Amino acid sequence: MTILVTRPSPAGEELVGRLRALGRVAYHAPLIDFAPGADLIKLPQALSQLNEGDLVFVLSQHAVSYANSVINRAGLQWPTRLSYYAIGRTTALAMHRISSLPVEYPREREISETLLLLPALQKLAGKQALIMRGNGGRELLGETLSTRGAAVRYYECYQRSPVHYDGTEQSAHWQRAGVDTLVVTSGEMLQQLYNLVPDYYRSSWLLCCRLIVVSERLATLAQELGWSTIRVADNADNDALMRALQ
């Protein structure tokens, strides 16, 4: 098995390092890069305007990192009067590490659907909900919180932008390297990889690879694009991806 990890840095590099330490052949080709988001400058004031028991949602480790940098530069601390939620365990740990505050997260799958099952998020009349995320993304979380009574505001803490490769050259290189297993952790990256690879390599190599994804939603998208050998990791963190790659 020769593995291509498309997860961005630093998590993608860490996964490749763990695989190589076990003697596996693995390469890193991040498909997305990150930069500060357009709403970062407004975040400290937005947090200060939230009331006791209002909700803060953190949708990725990148949101934690970029948001914390602006909070620190402003000489502030994360408000203790708020209730914090994360999309999954790794993001929750990152948020707890920088704030020392409790952060709730779903114990099952790291997706909006399971986060929304938490008992405390069922009736939200009179609450404000601040969602820290990247540019774009799914609207399910915000829309559902709104239907449950919360006043929802999104804050773009970081921007995702595609990493550009020469599709023909890179596809030929990956095929020559014997890549037969792909790790893809978002629908945006899956579509980007599919579009990057020219038709010839798509049919002769890309769609023949075993694909490791992190949600059933991604698996469905992969099937629609033409993949047939798909495995869904039991979570979105590197520990779960390591288990899926056994």
Cβ–Cβ contacts within 10 Å for residue 41, how many?
12
Residue 125 reports pLDDT greater than 90: yes
Is 200 found in the same domain as 119? no
3-state secondary structure of 234: coil
Is 230 found in the same domain as 206? yes
Is 168 found in the same domain as 108? no
Average pLDDT over the chain reads 95
Tell me which of 121, 142, 160 is where a domain ends. 160
Is 156 found in the same domain as 58? yes
Quick one: pLDDT band at residue 107, thresholds 50, 70, 90? confident
Burial of residue 72, with CB atoms counted within 10 A of its CB: 0-12 exposed, 13-18 middle, 19 or more buried: exposed
Is 20 found in the same domain as 59? no
**Quick one: pLDDT at residue 110?**
79
Is 216 found in the same domain as 109? no
Residue 126 reports pLDDT greater than 90: yes
Distance of CA 13 to the CA centre of its chain: 15
Q: Which domain holds residue 79?
A: 35-160
pTM for this one?
0.79
**Quick one: pLDDT at residue 108?**
80
Q: Residue 83: beta bridge partners?
A: 55
- For 8-60, write each residue's pLDDT tens digit: 988 899 999 999 999 999 999 999 999 999 999 999 999 999 999 999 999 99
DSSP secondary structure string for all residues of 176-223:
HTT--EEE---HHHHHHHHHHS-HHHHHHTGGGSEEEESSHHHHHHHH
**Quick one: pLDDT at residue 90?**
87
- Catalogue the E-assigned strands of the chain: 2-5, 25-28, 32-36, 55-58, 83-86, 103-104, 128-134, 151-162, 181-183, 210-213, 230-232
Residue 138 reports pLDDT greater than 90: no
Is 41 found in the same domain as 148? yes
- For 207-244, write each residue's pLDDT tens digit: 999 999 998 999 999 999 999 999 999 888 899 999 99
**Quick one: pLDDT at residue 182?**
98
Is 216 found in the same domain as 103? no
Quick one: pLDDT band at residue 246, thresholds 50, 70, 90? confident
Which has the closest alpha carbon to 63: 141, 158, 172? Answer: 158
Which has the closest alpha carbon to 31: 64, 9, 1? Answer: 9
Is 61 found in the same domain as 177? no
Query: Residues 6 or more apart from 182 whose CB is under 8 A from it?
Result: 3, 4, 6, 193, 206, 209, 210, 211, 212
- For 48-92, write each residue's pLDDT tens digit: 999 999 999 999 999 999 999 999 999 999 999 999 999 988 899
User: Do 28 and 22 meet the contact criterion of CB atoms below 8 Å apart?
Assistant: no
DSSP 80: T
CATH of the domain at 172: 3.40.50.10090
Tell me which of 136, 160, 184 is where a domain ends. 160
**Quick one: pLDDT at residue 10?**
87
Task: Give me the percent of the chain exceeding a pLDDT of 70.
Answer: 100
Is 185 found in the same domain as 85? no
Q: Residue 3: beta bridge partners?
A: 26, 181
Count up the domains in the chain and report the number.
Answer: 2
Is 83 found in the same domain as 154? yes
Is 129 found in the same domain as 173? no
**Quick one: pLDDT at residue 177?**
96
Tell me which of 142, 160, 178 is where a domain ends. 160
